[in-house]
Amino acid sequence: MKVKYFDNAATTALDKDILDKMMPYFSEEYYNPSSIYTKSINVHKVVDESRLRIASCINANQNEIYFTSGGTESDNLALKGYALANRKKGNHIITSCIEHPAVINSCKALEKEGFEITYLSVDENGFIKLDELEKAIKDETILISIMTANNEIGTIEPIKEIGRIAHEHGIAFHTDAVQAIGAIKIDVEDMNIDMLSMSGHKFYGPKGIGAIYIRKGIKVNRINDGGHQENDKRSGTENVPGIVGIGYAILKACNNLEENSKRISELRDYYISEIEKRIPEVKLNGDRVNRLPGNANFSFKYIEGESIMLLLDSKGICVSTGSACSSKTLEPSYVLLSIGLPHEIAHGSIRVTIGKHNTKEEVDYLIDSVVEVVDKLRKMSPLYEEGK
Ligand SMILES: *Cc1c(COP(=O)(O)O)cnc(C)c1O
């Protein structure tokens, strides 16, 4: 049975044409880009061409892009690297309570180093409140880190305004754009972004490669010690096949952004409207308008998301009960609790993330399956009988 994959926020399939571009750099063109013979200089050029592809997509300069091992490392570098390099200016950082664990846990680590962190709350749709952000700013504030779009509920934050507020106060602004790249247009100049994290495998590129944009003039300490690669910001021999892959993947994602987003958001809207039409007592989580094209996160009252997911799995459908990281724990998602869902409702949530390979037929199969599975589980649920 061909799997129907609706978990594109967890990872995406590497495109075959991108894989073809990467292949020569595993074995034939294996040279270390730091060496100085002709073969290595050629590989070095290929690495810089990839940098340029990334820079062009987000309106940055080539020398403002640094390669990392993924979104997690980019977030760590932005938070810890910036905090440690700018400690003399202040020890206060502002973030939100719905950030990815890569940001939240970097902040927790910085708290142990003597930094003070403000975790902004969000409203019922997952937006941070700009007046609360303004109020949280102090003389000691050196950095604001707010994600471009949330991985669980798809809410797109007012990034341009957040960046403007940061800059009015002379504070640097980092955004985790791992979910946003390839889904919505990103322009670091227009959106007042100083640092931005991305990850190859979230836009049909390879896993284990990411990048960070660091605006010229922004000081960041490296967080792993070693050689002088990546202009001293990230030690370690470059992952050349991955770098080639992420470069072509972002080029493709940017070139096809409007077309893909339009088609994907139409499928998402179709899924949302059918679920709301055919299943009573459901709640769409996240904002209806400012949300990622592929994201539809629903809470289904009276039943467990875990059970829905498992029954869908037996029908060959892959969905998520929250973020992949929290799916293995019994605690409900902290993002869903942060938007005010009670524990029992948060527990009954399913995240569908539609990608560029999903078809209308697959979405129809998904809808029919969700309707059937929810109905079956509710019939077995004593809570549902009481609630009626
Ligand atoms: C997936 C994800 C990450 C982590 O990226 P990896 O490359 O898997 O380390 C960080 N932030 C967000 C919002 C993500 O969705």
Mean pLDDT of the chain, nearest integer: 96
What pLDDT sits at residue 327?
53
The one-letter amino acid code at 115 reads F
294 has pLDDT over 60: yes
289 vs 261: CA distance, rounded Å: 14
Strand partners, 212: 66, 197
Using 50, 70 and 90 to split pLDDT, how confident is the model at 384?
confident
Strand partners, 285: 297
Return the bridge partners of 211, or none.
Answer: 67, 198
Mean pLDDT lowest for which of 130-139, 258-267, 327-336? Answer: 327-336
Alpha carbon distance 249, 235 (integer Å):
24
> Is the pLDDT confidence value at 157 over 90?
yes
The pLDDT of 16-29, averaged and rounded, is 98
H-assigned helices in 59-191 = 71-76, 82-85, 101-112, 130-136, 159-168
* Residue 88 to residue 142: CA distance in whole angstroms: 10
Separation of CA 376 and ligand 1 centre (Å): 34
Residue 330 has pLDDT above 80, yes or no: no
Q: Does the pLDDT value for residue 385 go beyond 90?
A: no
Q: Calculate how far, in angstroms, residue 153's C-alpha sits from the geometric centre of ligand 1.
A: 14
Looking at the DSSP assignment, which residues form a beta bridge with residue 352? 296
Q: Which of 230, 210, 362, 199 is nearest to 294 (CA)?
A: 362
Nearest residue (CA) to ligand 1, atom 10: 71
Ligand 1: centre distance to CA 234 (Å): 18
In the numeric block, the tokens 């590129």 are attached to: 205
Provide the total of helices (H) and of strands (E) in the chain, helices listed first: 14, 12
C-alpha 103 – ligand 1 centre gap (Å) = 10
Question: Is residue 70 in contact with ligand 1, taking CB distance under 6 Å?
Answer: yes
CATH superfamily of the domain spanning 4-11+257-378 = Aspartate Aminotransferase, domain 1 (3.90.1150.10)
Residue type, 286: G
Ligand 1 atom nearest the C-alpha of 102 is: 10
Ligand 1: centre distance to CA 306 (Å): 22
Q: Which residues contact 135 (CB under 8 A, 6 or more apart)?
A: none
Q: Which of 67, 105, 176 to mutate to test the pocket of ligand 1 (most atoms within 8 A of CB)?
A: 176
Q: How confident is the model at residue 314 (pLDDT cuts 50, 70, 90)?
A: very high
Atom of ligand 1 nearest to the CA of 208: 7
The response to whether residue 100 sits with its C-beta less than 6 Å from ligand 1 reads yes
Among residues 201, 117, 195, 114, which one has the least CA distance to residue 151? Answer: 201
349: Cβ below 6 Å to ligand 1?
Answer: no
* Six token digits for residue 371: 């309707």
Of all protein residues, the one whose alpha carbon is nearest to atom 5 of ligand 1 is: 71
The arithmetic mean of pLDDT across residues 161-185, rounded, is: 98
- Which amino acid does the sequence have at 245? G
If you average pLDDT over residues 354-366, what whole number do you get? 98
Q: What is the pLDDT of residue 329?
A: 60
The full set of domain ranges for the chain reads 4-11+257-378, 18-255
pLDDT band at 388 (very low <50, low <70, confident <90, very high): low
Q: Is 64 in the pocket of ligand 1 (CB under 6 A)?
A: no
Summarize pLDDT for 116-148 with one digit per residue, the tens.
999 999 999 999 999 999 999 999 999 999 999
Any ligand 1 atom below 6 A from CB of 71: yes
For residues 173, 178, 180 and 182, what is the CA-based torsion angle, rounded to 10 degrees? 130
* CB of 99 shorter than 6 A to ligand 1: no
Whose alpha carbon is nearest atom 14 of ligand 1?
Answer: 178
Q: Indicate the pLDDT class of residue 15, thresholds 50, 70 and 90.
A: very high
Question: How deeply is 212 buried, as exposed, middle or buried, from its count of CB atoms within 10 A (0-12, 13-18, 19+)?
Answer: buried
Measured by CA distance, the residue closest to atom 4 of ligand 1 is: 71
Q: Give dist(CA 196, CA 215) in Å, integer.
A: 9
Beta carbon of 176 within 6 Å of any ligand 1 atom:
yes
* % of the chain beyond a pLDDT of 90: 95
Residue pair 189/182 in contact (Cβ under 8 Å)? The answer is no
Task: State the Cα–Cα distance between residues 386 and 361, nearest whole angstrom.
Answer: 36
- How many angstroms does the Cα of residue 199 sit away from the middle of ligand 1? 6
100 and 75 Cβ atoms separated by less than 8 Å: yes
> How does pLDDT run across 187-215, given as a tens digit for each residue?
999 999 999 999 999 999 999 999 999 99
| Any atom of ligand 1 within 6 Å of the Cβ of 74 | no
Residue 102 Cβ inside 6 Å of ligand 1? The answer reads yes
Is the confidence at residue 324, as pLDDT, over 50? no
Rounded percentage of the chain residues whose pLDDT exceeds 70: 97
Question: Phi-psi bin for 252: left (phi > 0), alpha (psi -120 to 50), beta?
Answer: alpha
18-255: CATH architecture: 3-Layer(aba) Sandwich (3.40)
What order do you get walking across the sheet with 282-285 strand by strand?
282-285, 295-300, 349-353
**Which residue numbers are catalytic?**
325
* Bigger pLDDT: 195 vs 325: 195
